[in-house]
Structure 1
Amino acid sequence: MKPTLMRPVGLPLSASTPVVTPLMPSVVYASETPDALDAQYEGRVKGYTYAREGHPNADVLAQRIDALEGCTGGIVTGSGMAAVTAALLGLCKSGDHVVGGDQLYGRSLRMMKDDLPRLGIATTLADPTDVAAFAAAFRPETKLALVEVVSNPTLRIADLAGIAELCKAKGVLLVVDNTFTTPVAVKPFEWGADVVIHSVTKLLAGHSDVTLGWVAANTPELTKQLYDFIVTTGMTPSPFDCWLAERGMMSFGLRFAHAQQTARKLADHLAGQKGVKRVLYPTRDDHPDRARAQSVLRGVGGNMLSFELDGGREQANAFAAAAKGIAFAPTLGDVGTTLSHPASSSHRALGAEGRAKLGITEGFFRVSVGLEETEALMATFDDGLRAAGAVK
């Protein structure tokens, strides 16, 4: 009996095509000859070699996000922080200087304060809502600026136009993390960004069952720098996660619209409740950056809001425990509403003094609104407020 070689024979031929993207977990891909492999590596033909260097499910997902952001060449990474790291370390070297917004995501702040300086890259944090303060942080060796359009967790709106103009004038790369806002609210490349980042884990995938990031640049040269760093450092996304995220993106627009509508109503509801010191939502008249929210976000408020209780940690504990059915978890963008307490999670490393400078108290919560019925969600928050108010 002739032995059978253990080699893939390819997909069966079919006159029809699958409606759903096939899941393709293969780690390696076979080429016919060394010449054929050369043609792939030299870019004369498109093909896959080793999954760390790219695979079909990642490319399909990247193209879907590219279409939302109005760009090409986006790269999917193993996490949102992998995308941030690729931008910072893939585009900077020892001796460079980076300016970052002072209210970045907690791990982005840690990278700015601890990791980049350890590698010889100096950093400065500045207020992105004040372009003059941001400009004052620049140095002759400044290579890159990193901002979030809407800050985490106080929902301040960056002066995106002013910062983009500043970076262009100074020859500084502008990197924008668009995770909170999503392309529904703003497309940073249209404002002059050089690099855009997403934590796909959040709103784009939307189901808290994948961990992925995405990064794209506005020139082939920057794209190659990012790609080479991502491949070399092994920031490989899982094909299965990419497949799940693509599925999640099919409902992204519907999910965003429903969650935003509920978030607006919940913000207004909370603002009128006893025991609530303040509410932050971009389209409310009392938001400190409302005018900028109208111009930058085009009136899109999004699904995120923050509020501050009267009181401290004891009231916060009581609220979280009584708001039954609301997941107390440091994440956002899920189909269910999640409640985050920055002082004990994302911004704990700043210490009490550092948090106080940003207005983050022990009674401060960030809310990622999901797909629940609005009235039921309001009732649950009322339960939490009653419990917090009962604490003496």
Structure 2
Amino acid sequence: MTHTPVRRTPWPESSSRAVVTPLQPSVVYASDTPDALDAQYEGRTPGFTYAREGHPNATVLAQKIDALEGAEGGIIVGSGMAAVTAVMLGLLKAGDHVLGGDQLYGRSLRMLAQDLPRMGITTSLADPTDVAAMAAALRPETRMILVEVVSNPTLRVADMEGIARLAQDRGVLLVVDNTFTTPRGYRPFDHGADIVIHSVTKLLAGHSDVTLGYVALRDPALRRPVYDAATTFGLTPSPFDCWLAERGLYSFNLRYDRAEENAARLADHLATLPGIRRVIYPTRADHPDHNRALALLGRRGGNMLSFELEGGRAAANALTRAAPNIAFAPTLGDIGTTLSHPPSSSHRALTPEARAALGISEGFFRVSVGVEEIEILMAEFTEAVAAAARA
């Protein structure tokens, strides 16, 4: 009897193996017997059942990021915010309190300010550069602290050592969003963190063509509720995105080192240009957290810098128009340099007064520095800043 096209064809056998990780987009996986399926669900044998519950490309990617972070059992989800969501929904309940750093990513701030309170979870914010302020904001019902090592977009450096001691002393889970710093710059588990989060979309994948997140937990007992939340709420990662992100990881160290070198040189160059009010880069001597940055990160300033133009929105518009080869986009981590304007993107939901309190004016820009030739970048920014000054 011949097979018809609607029958699945067995994968060709080969005595050699693929060099590139195969892409496995299958949603479902067939088992031999009900007993075999039981064995998989009960963890007695490895295997996959349904892609929402896990698939090979997510497992391969998680293992590679685990190796970078010094973790085990990392979970890949559909975005960086899916990672935050899985942690919050998996580990918190009504009546719990979450303390966040006051300069988190915009959507993380929204979750703390608007979404968690609707579920009966209270939240508050405090300055992560001031451990006394963080301690004062803790409550008896505090379950979790969420911070970024380097804040977005003002690049303030959190007092991670003090916060880690505080969390341990109070029995509070310390969750670190390591997206900006990456494990190349800082490994939170080595410094007392309980949970590490990444937006893999950004520097780890590095090519602006995937949307993924990652969660790792120090305590294996906490993994299951986070995994269950991700599965139940459908925070499923795409196999294709996982496959692309794994490809990006192979060049991650090279990309990060080159972009970091470019960022340090570009920051110093911008500081010399007329029309620039200030430049923010962690390893510069004029950074407000310079000493802490050196102690925490060494000479690893990262690929992110921010600067403030003299002048307002007109100067900002002039700058972006004069830099057509630098993508003006509300993202970071691409292999090429991108430019973002927090007042019109990540922090647009804040009032002007709230932005001013964070030091974000209409002339404030964040730069995700890429791997281009540094001379090209310096020339393009020189021309753009001059155009802004004329405006």
TM-score (norm 2): 0.98
Give, as a single letter, the amino acid of the residue that structure 2 aligns with 1:117. Answer: P
Alpha-carbon distance in 2 for matches of 1:129, 1:10: 58
The amino acid that maps onto 1:163 is I
Equivalent-residue separation in structure 1 for 2:145 and 2:41 (angstroms): 33
User: Are 1:91 and 2:91 matched, yes or no?
Assistant: yes
The residue type equivalent to 1:289 in the other structure is D
RMSD: 1.1
- Structure 1: how far apart are the matches of 2:10 and 2:86? 34
Aligned counterpart, 2:308: 308
One-letter amino acid of the counterpart of residue 288, structure 2: P
For residues 298 and 173 of structure 1, the distance between their equivalents in structure 2, rounded to whole angstroms, comes to 26
* Residue type at the aligned position of 2:324: K
Alpha-carbon distance, 1:3 to partner: 6.0
1:266 maps to 2:270: no
Q: Contact (CA 8 Å) 2:340, 2:367: kept in 1 or not? A: yes
Q: Secondary structure at the match of 2:26?
A: coil
Query: What one-letter code is carried by the residue in structure 2 that aligns with 1:296?
Result: L
User: Structure 2 matches for 1:338-357, cutoff 5 A?
Assistant: 338-357=338-357
1:381 maps to 381
**Residue deviations 1:76-95 (CA, integer Å, cap 9, x gap):** 00001000111122111111
Equivalent residues of 2:149, 2:181 under 8 A apart: yes
Q: Once the 2 structures are TM-superposed, how far is the Cα of residue 296 of structure 1 from its aligned partner?
A: 1.2
Supply the distance in 2 between the matched residues of 1:255 and 1:124 (Cα, whole angstroms).
36
Check conservation: 2:26, 2:51, Cα contact below 8 A: yes
Partner of 2:12: 12
Q: Which residue of 2 aligns with 1:175?
A: 175
Question: Counterpart of 1:147?
Answer: 147
Which residue of 1 is the match for residue 244 of structure 2? Answer: 244
- Rounded Cα–Cα distance in structure 1 between residues aligned with 2:288 and 2:222: 35
Q: Indicate the residue corresponding to 1:46 in structure 2.
A: 46
Shift of 1:383: 1.2
Partner in structure 2 of residue 287 of structure 1? 287
The 5 Å alignment of 1:211-222 reads 211-222=211-222
How far did 1:227 drift?
0.5
Matched residue count:
391
Question: Using the alignment, how far apart are the partners of 2:242 and 2:260 within structure 1?
Answer: 25
Is the CA contact (8 Å cut-off) linking 2:29 and 2:48 kept in structure 1?
yes
Write the deviation string for residues 12-68 of structure 1: whole angstroms up to 9, x where unpaired: 221111100000000000001110000001100001000000000000000000000
Q: Residue by residue, what CA displacement relative to the aligned partner does 1:84-119 show, whole Å, maximum 9, x if unpaired? A: 111122111111000000000010011111111111
Q: State the distance in 1 between where 2:134 and 2:262 align.
A: 34
Cross-structure match for 1:227: 227
In the TM superposition, 1:80-159 aligns within 5 A as 80-159=80-159
**Distance (whole Å) between structure 1 residues aligned to residue 193 and residue 7 of structure 2:** 45
* 8 Å Cα contact 2:28/2:51 also seen in 1: yes
Task: State how far apart, in whole Å, the 1-side matches of 2:36 and 2:253 are.
Answer: 41
Q: How far does residue 179 in structure 1 lie from its aligned partner after superposition?
A: 0.2
Which ranges of structure 2 fall in alignment gaps of 5 or more residues?
A: none
Displacement of 1:5: 8.8
Letter in 1 for 2:350: L
Give the superposition deviation at 1:236: 0.4
In 1, Cα distance between equivalents of 2:234 and 2:223: 16
Q: CA deviation at 1:11?
A: 2.4
Contact 1:97 / 1:139 at 8 angstroms: preserved in 2?
A: yes
> Contact 1:147/1:176 (CA < 8 Å) preserved in 2?
yes
Correspondence for 2:275: 275
Code of the residue aligned with 2:271 in structure 1: it is A
Please tell me the residue identity of whatever aligns with 2:379.
A
Partners of 2:51 and 2:69 in 1: CA distance:
25
C-alpha distance after superposition, 1:321-341 (max 9, x if no partner): 111200000100101100000
Secondary structure of 1:262's counterpart equals helix
Runs of 4+ in 1 over 2 A off after TM superposition: 1-11
Name the CA distance, whole Å, in 2 between partners of 1:228 and 1:7. 33
8 Å CA contact 1:324, 1:380 repeated in 2: no
Label 1:176 to 1:7 Cα distance change in 2 as closer, same or farther (>3 A).
Answer: farther
Is 1:36 the counterpart of 2:41 in the alignment? no
- State how far apart, in whole Å, the 1-side matches of 2:15 and 2:231 are: 36
Answer whether contact 2:89 2:226 (CA < 8 A) is retained: no
Deviation at 1:150, TM superposition (A): 0.2
Secondary structure, counterpart of 1:265 in structure 2: helix
- Measured in 1, the distance between the counterparts of 2:143 and 2:350 equals 25
What is the CA-CA distance between 1:10 and the residue it aligns to? 3.7
Distance of 2:168 and 2:212 partners within structure 1: 30
Question: Deviations along 1:309-366, whole A, 9 cap, x unmatched?
Answer: 0111111111111112000001001011000000000011111011111000000000
Counterparts of 2:118 and 2:232, CA distance in 1 = 20
Aligned equivalents of 1:143, 1:179: Cα separation in 2: 22
Query: What is the aligned partner in structure 2 of residue 62 from structure 1?
Result: 62
Identical residues among aligned pairs (%): 69
Q: Does the aligned pair in 2 maintain the 1:144–1:175 contact within 8 Å?
A: yes
Instruction: For 2:114 and 2:93, locate their aligned partners in 1 and report how far apart those are by CA, in whole Å.
Output: 15
SS in 1 for 2:193: coil
Q: Which amino acid aligns with 2:251?
A: S
How far, CA to CA, are the matches of 1:45 and 1:253 in structure 2? 35
Per-residue displacement from partner, 1:227-264 (whole Å, max 9, x unpaired)? Answer: 01101111000000000000111111110011111100
3-state DSSP class of the match of 2:111? helix
Aligned partner letter, 1:247: R
Gaps of 5+ in 1: none
Shift of 1:192: 0.8
Q: Distance in 1 between matches of 2:54 and 2:309?
A: 47
